Chains A and B, each alone.
Chain A
């Protein structure tokens, strides 16, 4: 015989101003099986919890119904209180009298009636509750970090420094990402390479980090604590264990006209190449798509010139499988193409370049060794125009969102230009200046006031070439929309930051969600910014949304802390509210007939097949089995099961029916 306690909360006035809580408590006292019923102002407070604990002891309660706010808010609180009083936590359930009743209705008789009905349903459910124990899952304490930009580097170092193993996978031949391409960084103008390259080296030398460059995630299986990842190590055609990185190969390579990715197409590289002199690892790979030997079957000049004999054209892609407990996705961003605003002339005029290309021009490691020279004829531009929001905040043609970093890097570009070309004139066309961040606004003011960068508030309608000059036509909206025409020598477009081209495919491999712009989606926009909706997979950096270096590094350390917290336990405890396939005595063993409709229905690939064997080892029956590490308790399999052999623990068919019957029988 059930002895259930009902505890009705006022939630200050949140519930009691609309619902007659005393009446609810009094009515519930009369329900069949209710041994105790009371109302209280703040049930979640310490005295409120004590009230529950005392009642469990005094009245020898077998179940508890707390009628208060959403279980999302306080279910763990009350379950813990019950457990402390010796009652299994899963014998405690919550009725949501706040969000489901008092907040959405006026104070009327019906509102109180609805509250009473809600309590009645839960009382019936609790009668069918069974004690449950949390599920324990072991943890494999190695982290997989996907993407070797600054986010991946920071995450890997932080996790490795906590004493855990890290596998860092980077698809390019070197780690470093976009940050390695940058010249100076805002708002301090310290050199990007100077602060980044020591960390790249640290990654390569860290005893806890295994680095796989030129590699990509092939597939992922498993669940938090127990992932199995397949990694494709693309054939480098160079044996890095033998290669000394001397450079004899790439100086002799005859394919010299391949646009350099690192220099954003401003100069060329060879087919066997190291992306940049400070690359980690500083050893080459062969780009098969452009190698004369791979394309035409002849050449092998690099092989002839390699003294250690490191070049092997017959190397093939290798797929390795690793076991990891947590994953951090740090795949970064891309720069949006420029073909959707042909009026700015990118691609048509050589001296219209993107912000990333300007970074390379301004960088000491770039094709001009840091001198600002225009691509068409190598002349130093005397007048330069920067166009902010080239694609961002443009629902008509570009993307809706603000790319966030452009205001700052445009100010930096203009500043660097003024520092390098003292007689030069620079103009920035902008919509708004978004300089939120420590020392950011001051930085922009410095560009305007000290470096005399001309900020023009308005959009550029078109850029065209005339007599060797780029004519930039725009409007100055602070001067009544007066048309402005500037004869520039060079134009720099602050193109939008967009999701990496492979992000959608990667998200699908990882089973994490992504937004409409194909950025990876965080689990909660405010309170879970580094988590994804898939347990054990975390995010850091610009793969989640465009962000600058400080924010990326902060997020990377945050994700690392999440992984470290996960790895601080030896096993994981999870809510046992998952599906189970029933088991019966022989000869049926289970009512499951092995149709495996559940297998096709399960979105988490949690259904496995279990063979039931006799003593001789002969298979008698194959039935479904739920992997309790993978199951998320969604209940899809329950709906699909034709023989009603699967139930969700804590939400069994019996419990659901008893709730419904409580309403119908009233």
Chain B
């Protein structure tokens, strides 16, 4: 079982622990990940704010490289990369002229045939039936599953989960013994890229998310996006100053929680890398 793998920039930098946990978990589940050779940046927020063709060409080159390598499915753990790649594929499939133009820009043939999976989709598709047997230590805690903006939106592009009240992560968490709570901020904005330009706004928006999770008894917030993670975890000082109190609820990647339940060691899952210490063993 081999899947194409697009780590993207975040997973090689600020969220290395996400990459480490994805790789460790896939290894445990017998899924081989093969990096797309010579991959480039997806363009992130910058490209589509500046130039539409650029914003389509960068992801198209990644998808074309995957096609060239014979990959039929690729895993894209970063929600922002997942959104850019999916949007590109969707838009180019709607418009043959644009597709031809983008192919000429990247100088490679582009079919648009590669199936793009986020981590939750990958686990739904390839791990759901394996999890139960492999659980060594159920993650027996209340968790707040936080989906953020890009994992489920826009619906017409992604066709994944319910937009306003997504459930897939909750279902996965329940499968490894966790107790997903019913809470109000599943898809509220964390502040996203304002992390760099206006961290006080991130403090406010992420602060509300963290507070609701804590108020409703969550012991951990679970995410599947490096941006969400860095805002909820790294920006904790700004959050604490907005909330005027110190909150110590840790923020874990969905892959880390499943990894823990499957008995993978915490270093391998990158748990020590978080700003808010994770004390679960």
Residues of A in contact with B (beta carbons under 8 Å apart):
341-343, 348, 396-397, 461-462, 464-466, 471
Contacts of A465 in B (CB 8 A): 184
B158-173 vs A, Cβ < 8 Å mask (1 yes, 0 no) = 0000111100000000
Q: Does B155 contact A (CB under 8 A)?
A: yes
Q: Do residues A341 and B164 form an inter-chain contact, with CB atoms below 8 A?
A: yes
Q: Do residues B155 and A464 form an inter-chain contact, with CB atoms below 8 A?
A: no
Name the CB-closest residue of B to A341: B164
Contacts of B182 in A (CB 8 A): 348
Kindly state the separation between the CA atoms of A320 and B110 in the bound complex, as whole angstroms.
Answer: 67
Q: Do residues A343 and B165 form an inter-chain contact, with CB atoms below 8 A?
A: yes
Contacts of B155 in A (CB 8 A): 396
Kindly state the separation between the CA atoms of A276 and B122 in the bound complex, as whole angstroms.
Answer: 54
B138-166 vs A, Cβ < 8 Å mask (1 yes, 0 no) = 00000000000000000110000011110
With beta carbons under 8 angstroms apart, the residue of A343, A348, A466, A471 that contacts B164 is A343
Q: Do residues B162 and A342 form an inter-chain contact, with CB atoms below 8 A?
A: yes
**Nearest Cβ on chain A to B162's Cβ, whole angstroms:** 6
Q: Do residues B162 and A462 form an inter-chain contact, with CB atoms below 8 A?
A: no
Kindly state the separation between the CA atoms of A534 and B184 in the bound complex, as whole angstroms.
Answer: 52
Contacts of B156 in A (CB 8 A): 396
**Nearest Cβ on chain B to A192's Cβ, whole angstroms:** 34
Q: Do residues A471 and B165 form an inter-chain contact, with CB atoms below 8 A?
A: no
Contacts of B188 in A (CB 8 A): 462
Q: Do residues A471 and B184 form an inter-chain contact, with CB atoms below 8 A?
A: yes
- 10 smallest A-B Cβ distances: which pairs? A464-B184, A343-B164, A342-B165, A343-B165, A342-B164, A342-B162, A341-B164, A462-B184, A396-B155, A462-B164
Contacts of A461 in B (CB 8 A): 164
Kindly state the separation between the CA atoms of A466 and B164 in the bound complex, as whole angstroms.
Answer: 18
B177-217 vs A, Cβ < 8 Å mask (1 yes, 0 no) = 00000111000100000000000000000000000100100
Name the CB-closest residue of A to B182: A348
Contacts of B212 in A (CB 8 A): 466
Contacts of B183 in A (CB 8 A): 464
**Nearest Cβ on chain B to A375's Cβ, whole angstroms:** 19
Name the CB-closest residue of A to B188: A462
Contacts of A471 in B (CB 8 A): 184
Kindly state the separation between the CA atoms of A466 and B215 in the bound complex, as whole angstroms.
Answer: 9
Residues of B in contact with A (beta carbons under 8 Å apart):
155-156, 162-165, 182-184, 188, 212, 215
**Nearest Cβ on chain A to B11's Cβ, whole angstroms:** 30
Name the CB-closest residue of A to B167: A342
Contacts of B162 in A (CB 8 A): 342
Kindly state the separation between the CA atoms of A465 and B185 in the bound complex, as whole angstroms.
Answer: 11
Kindly state the separation between the CA atoms of A659 and B80 in the bound complex, as whole angstroms.
Answer: 66
Which of B184, B188, B212, B215 has most chain A Cβ within 10 Å?
A: B184
Please list 21 pairs of residues, one from A and one from B, whose beta carbons are closer than 8 Å in the complex, sorted by A's number.
Answer: A341-B164, A342-B162, A342-B164, A342-B165, A343-B164, A343-B165, A348-B182, A396-B155, A396-B156, A397-B163, A461-B164, A462-B164, A462-B184, A462-B188, A464-B183, A464-B184, A465-B184, A466-B184, A466-B212, A466-B215, A471-B184
Contacts of A396 in B (CB 8 A): 155-156
If A342-B162, A342-B165, A466-B215 are given as contacts, then 15 extra A-B residue pairs at C-beta distance below 8 Å, sorted by A number, are A341-B164, A342-B164, A343-B165, A348-B182, A396-B155, A397-B163, A461-B164, A462-B164, A462-B184, A462-B188, A464-B183, A465-B184, A466-B184, A466-B212, A471-B184
Kindly state the separation between the CA atoms of A169 and B86 in the bound complex, as whole angstroms.
Answer: 54
Name the CB-closest residue of A to B165: A342
Kindly state the separation between the CA atoms of A471 and B211 in the bound complex, as whole angstroms.
Answer: 15
**Nearest Cβ on chain B to A462's Cβ, whole angstroms:** 7
Kindly state the separation between the CA atoms of A466 and B156 in the bound complex, as whole angstroms.
Answer: 32
**Nearest Cβ on chain A to B72's Cβ, whole angstroms:** 30
**Nearest Cβ on chain A to B230's Cβ, whole angstroms:** 24
**Nearest Cβ on chain B to A189's Cβ, whole angstroms:** 35
Name the CB-closest residue of B to A465: B184
Kindly state the separation between the CA atoms of A397 and B163 in the bound complex, as whole angstroms.
Answer: 10
Name the CB-closest residue of B to A397: B163
Kindly state the separation between the CA atoms of A343 and B188 in the bound complex, as whole angstroms.
Answer: 11
**Nearest Cβ on chain B to A338's Cβ, whole angstroms:** 12
Kindly state the separation between the CA atoms of A648 and B156 in the bound complex, as whole angstroms.
Answer: 50
Kindly state the separation between the CA atoms of A462 and B182 in the bound complex, as whole angstroms.
Answer: 14
**Nearest Cβ on chain A to B158's Cβ, whole angstroms:** 13
Which of B155, B162, B188, B215 has most chain A Cβ within 10 Å?
A: B162
Name the CB-closest residue of B to A344: B164
Name the CB-closest residue of A to B215: A466
Kindly state the separation between the CA atoms of A465 and B183 in the bound complex, as whole angstroms.
Answer: 9
**Nearest Cβ on chain B to A567's Cβ, whole angstroms:** 52
Kindly state the separation between the CA atoms of A341 and B165 in the bound complex, as whole angstroms.
Answer: 8
Contacts of B164 in A (CB 8 A): 341-343, 461-462
Contacts of A342 in B (CB 8 A): 162, 164-165
Contacts of B165 in A (CB 8 A): 342-343
Name the CB-closest residue of B to A348: B182
**Nearest Cβ on chain B to A385's Cβ, whole angstroms:** 16
**Nearest Cβ on chain B to A401's Cβ, whole angstroms:** 19
Kindly state the separation between the CA atoms of A342 and B183 in the bound complex, as whole angstroms.
Answer: 12
Kindly state the separation between the CA atoms of A342 and B212 in the bound complex, as whole angstroms.
Answer: 18
Name the CB-closest residue of B to A467: B215
Contacts of A466 in B (CB 8 A): 184, 212, 215
Name the CB-closest residue of A to B185: A464
**Nearest Cβ on chain A to B215's Cβ, whole angstroms:** 8
**Nearest Cβ on chain B to A86's Cβ, whole angstroms:** 65
Kindly state the separation between the CA atoms of A341 and B155 in the bound complex, as whole angstroms.
Answer: 13
Kindly state the separation between the CA atoms of A22 and B162 in the bound complex, as whole angstroms.
Answer: 68
Kindly state the separation between the CA atoms of A348 and B164 in the bound complex, as whole angstroms.
Answer: 14
Kindly state the separation between the CA atoms of A348 and B165 in the bound complex, as whole angstroms.
Answer: 12
Kindly state the separation between the CA atoms of A537 and B243 in the bound complex, as whole angstroms.
Answer: 67
Kindly state the separation between the CA atoms of A461 and B156 in the bound complex, as whole angstroms.
Answer: 18
Contacts of B184 in A (CB 8 A): 462, 464-466, 471
**Nearest Cβ on chain A to B145's Cβ, whole angstroms:** 14
**Nearest Cβ on chain A to B221's Cβ, whole angstroms:** 17
Kindly state the separation between the CA atoms of A466 and B212 in the bound complex, as whole angstroms.
Answer: 9
Contacts of A462 in B (CB 8 A): 164, 184, 188
